[in-house]
Amino acid sequence: MTKAASVVQGALTRFLMERSKPLILTVFRQRQVLSVEGDPALYGIRNGDFGSVLELVRNLLVGVDAERLTVWPLVDIGNRRHTSILWVPDKPNDHIIVTDAEMCGEELTERQQAANELALANVEKSKTIRELKAVRDELQAKSAALNEIHKFQRRLIDTLSHDLRTPLTSISGYAALLEPHLAENPVTMRALSAIQRNATYLKNLAENLLHLAAADNGSAPLLAHPFALEQLAEDVESIIRPMADGKRLRLNVDWQSTVQKMPVFDDLRLRQILLNLVSNAVRYTREGKVDVELRYDGDQLTLRVTDTGIGIASEYQDTIFEPLNRGAQQGCEGAGLGLSIVKQLVEQMGGTIALQSAVGVGTRIQIVLPERAAALEPAAARAEPSLRVQSERVIIVDDDPDVAEMLVWSLHEIGYMPQLIHDPSVLLARVAAQPPGLIIIDVDLGVRSGLAVTQELRLRGYTGSIIVFSGANNTNTRQAAKAAGADAFLAKPLDMPKFLAWMKRLLPGA
């Protein structure tokens, strides 16, 4: 070894000895310490008690060849103090060298602790995100399921309401036709009155359900146009009168306009509001009267319905306009939809409702509706043009035998001999051979839409009048009927007095 090499080796040895602070034990059979070099206190060894170090080394030697030099780096000897331990066999005695790894171990511990804590936090974060996503997915799935249920309910209500209308047309129509024939028999007249009253109730219920279904769809826009206040009053009276008469109640319907112009509102909605209010008043009045007032001053329309009925207790007056709320009239009939629909419609029309009621005295509901020019839409959409009847021949096209027979009977009553056709293709052939003055056609013909047949008739050059009627009393169907070439649209169930009035007016020879 050169002198330089010797100097370097010496310096390196001194450096390493200072850094590693070795404790060198010479031991006999791993159990007896023969000599010690270094400071045992640096490794927590006090009073020459080397038992724990010898125990540790014996444990470290388990499973390894004690005849070979072995190194165990970064061994925790307690209290998170780290050492490196060397086993140096040297028969008959052996050596244990313990060196300080604290600088390395301390730094490593800190780094590892921080890294592991960060990783654990990330694991928790990921888990939380996964859980939140799962909750979100679950909520979305539940929301979708609820939407499906909601859609199904709407379709169900819609279908039921439509399906109610067709048989109600037959019931109301036949009842109206029977009336003059049974007028002399009080017993059958009472029965007929009950039929008419219940048909009116069902018809109102069907309208309300349809309104609910349409409102849920957001497809019930207001359609304002000028209308005759007198006509509205007459319509409501004619519908409710049988109910009132059946209960021996006095029904007074009064209208008044202080201006010359016609009011501009959605008259279908007004009719729905009034029918709900007045039928409710009749339903919950046992004796006395129901007064209906319609007032128009050019800016607003006031509807007032006053009854001498059972009244509404004050604790129910705040909730009476909530859906399905029948608390105020326990034990009485009714689905509990009417007043909630009235409230919806009044709010939609920008109006206000005021309720005054006393139990045992009666109830007054007043509605004030502002006329809003901005809400105006083309009135033509629901205009009912006059019929251009060119001859007195009338054809009825309907595949529902009850409704068809009822229409035929109705027209017989006013002197017509209408032809009844179930098959649209037969209709086209008949019209080609001899055009009638008027065709009354149902939209839903089963095999083919009445609207398509109407359009084809017009395309083939038929110029007579066509009345389309349908259970779907909505703007779309009305507009589709007009677009197809119909002259008038009537909703099911047919209002028979109104229908017959139409016929008499349009067919003067009747």
Partner 1 sequence: MSEARKICLLGDFAVGKSSLVARFVRNTFSDKYLTTVGVKVDSKEVRLTDRAVKLVVWDLAGKAELDSLNKTYIRGAHGLMLVVDGTREASLRAALYLWMQSQKQLAQVPVVLMINKLDMIDRWEVSSADIARLSESVPTFRTSALSGEGVEAAFTTLAQRVTERP
Q: How far is the CB of 67 from partner 1 (least distance, A)?
A: 13
86 contacts partner 1 (rule: CB under 8 A): no
φ and ψ of 362, to 5 deg: 145, -175
425 contacts partner 1 (rule: CB under 8 A): no
User: What is the distance between the alpha carbons of residues 486 and 468, in angstroms, rounded to a whole number?
Assistant: 6
414 contacts partner 1 (rule: CB under 8 A): no
Pick the stretch among 66-74, 166-174, 413-421, 456-464 that binds partner 1 (CB under 8 A).
66-74
CB 394 within 8 A of CB 418: yes
In the bound state with partner 1, the residue whose beta carbon lies nearer, of 122 and 159, is 122
Contact with partner 1 (CB under 8 A) among 63, 92, 180, 509: 63
Site string for partner 1, 115-154 (x = CB under 8 A): -xx-xx--x---x---------------------------
Contact with partner 1 (CB under 8 A) among 22, 38, 105, 471: 105
Q: How far is the CB of 332 from partner 1 (least distance, A)?
A: 53
Instruction: Kindly state the helix (H) or strand (E) to which residue 267 belongs, with its residue range.
Output: helix 267-283
Q: How far is the CB of 50 from partner 1 (least distance, A)?
A: 16
Instruction: Kindly state the helix (H) or strand (E) to which residue 404 belongs, with its residue range.
Output: helix 401-413
60 contacts partner 1 (rule: CB under 8 A): yes
72 contacts partner 1 (rule: CB under 8 A): yes
Q: How far is the CB of 117 from partner 1 (least distance, A)?
A: 7
76 contacts partner 1 (rule: CB under 8 A): yes
In the bound state with partner 1, the residue whose beta carbon lies nearer, of 133 and 250, is 133
Task: Output the CA–CA distances (angstroms, integers) from residue 199 to 149, 248, 335, in the order listed.
Answer: 30, 18, 15
Q: Is 138 helix (H, G, I), strand (E, B) or coil?
A: helix
Got the DSSP string for 482-495?
HHHT-SEEEESSP-
In the bound state with partner 1, the residue whose beta carbon lies nearer, of 11 and 115, is 115
Q: Which pairing describes strands 394-397 and 362-370: parallel, antiparallel, or unpaired?
A: unpaired
In the bound state with partner 1, the residue whose beta carbon lies nearer, of 113 and 352, is 113
User: What is the distance between the alpha carbons of residues 270 and 342, in angstroms, rounded to a whole number?
Assistant: 9
Contact with partner 1 (CB under 8 A) among 73, 89, 221, 446: 73
User: What is the distance between the alpha carbons of residues 229 and 211, in angstroms, rounded to a whole number?
Assistant: 23
Pick the stretch among 113-121, 369-377, 389-397, 465-473 that binds partner 1 (CB under 8 A).
113-121
409 contacts partner 1 (rule: CB under 8 A): no
112 contacts partner 1 (rule: CB under 8 A): yes
Contact with partner 1 (CB under 8 A) among 1, 5, 62, 373: 62
Residues of the chain by 3-state class (helix, strand, coil), percent to 5:
50, 20, 30
In the bound state with partner 1, the residue whose beta carbon lies nearer, of 23 and 365, is 23
Q: How far is the CB of 115 from partner 1 (least distance, A)?
A: 8
82 contacts partner 1 (rule: CB under 8 A): yes
User: What is the distance between the alpha carbons of residues 170 and 173, in angstroms, rounded to a whole number?
Assistant: 5
Which residues, numbered 16-55, are part of the site for partner 1 (CB under 8 A)?
A: 55
CB 296 within 8 A of CB 263: yes
CB 474 within 8 A of CB 492: no
The encoded tokens of residue 294 equal 């319609």
In the bound state with partner 1, the residue whose beta carbon lies nearer, of 72 and 201, is 72
In the bound state with partner 1, the residue whose beta carbon lies nearer, of 44 and 401, is 44
Q: How many residues bind partner 1 (CB under 8 A)?
A: 27
> What is the CA 178 to chain-centroid distance, rounded?
43
**Per-residue DSSP letter, 369:** E
Q: How far is the CB of 221 from partner 1 (least distance, A)?
A: 53
Task: Output the CA–CA distances (angstroms, integers) from residue 291 to 179, 252, 307, 458, in the order listed.
Answer: 25, 5, 6, 47
97 contacts partner 1 (rule: CB under 8 A): no
Q: Which pairing describes strands 465-470 and 488-491: parallel, antiparallel, or unpaired?
A: parallel
CB 193 within 8 A of CB 245: yes
Which residues, numbered 202-231, are part of the site for partner 1 (CB under 8 A)?
A: none
CA dihedral 338, 343, 345, 349 (to 10 degrees): 160
The vertex-295 CA angle with 369 and 489, nearest 5°, equals: 70
User: What is the distance between the alpha carbons of residues 112 and 108, in angstroms, rounded to a whole number?
Assistant: 6
Contact with partner 1 (CB under 8 A) among 53, 54, 56, 290: 56
Q: How far is the CB of 341 from partner 1 (least distance, A)?
A: 49
67 contacts partner 1 (rule: CB under 8 A): no
Which residues, numbered 486-505, are part of the site for partner 1 (CB under 8 A)?
A: none
In the bound state with partner 1, the residue whose beta carbon lies nearer, of 116 and 252, is 116
79 contacts partner 1 (rule: CB under 8 A): no
Which residue stretches of 21-81 are H helix? 51-61
User: What is the distance between the alpha carbons of residues 237 and 241, in angstroms, rounded to a whole number?
Assistant: 5
Q: How far is the CB of 163 from partner 1 (least distance, A)?
A: 51
Which residues are near partner 1 by CB under 8 A?
Answer: 55-56, 58-60, 62-64, 72-76, 80, 82, 101, 105, 108-109, 112-113, 116-117, 119-120, 123, 127
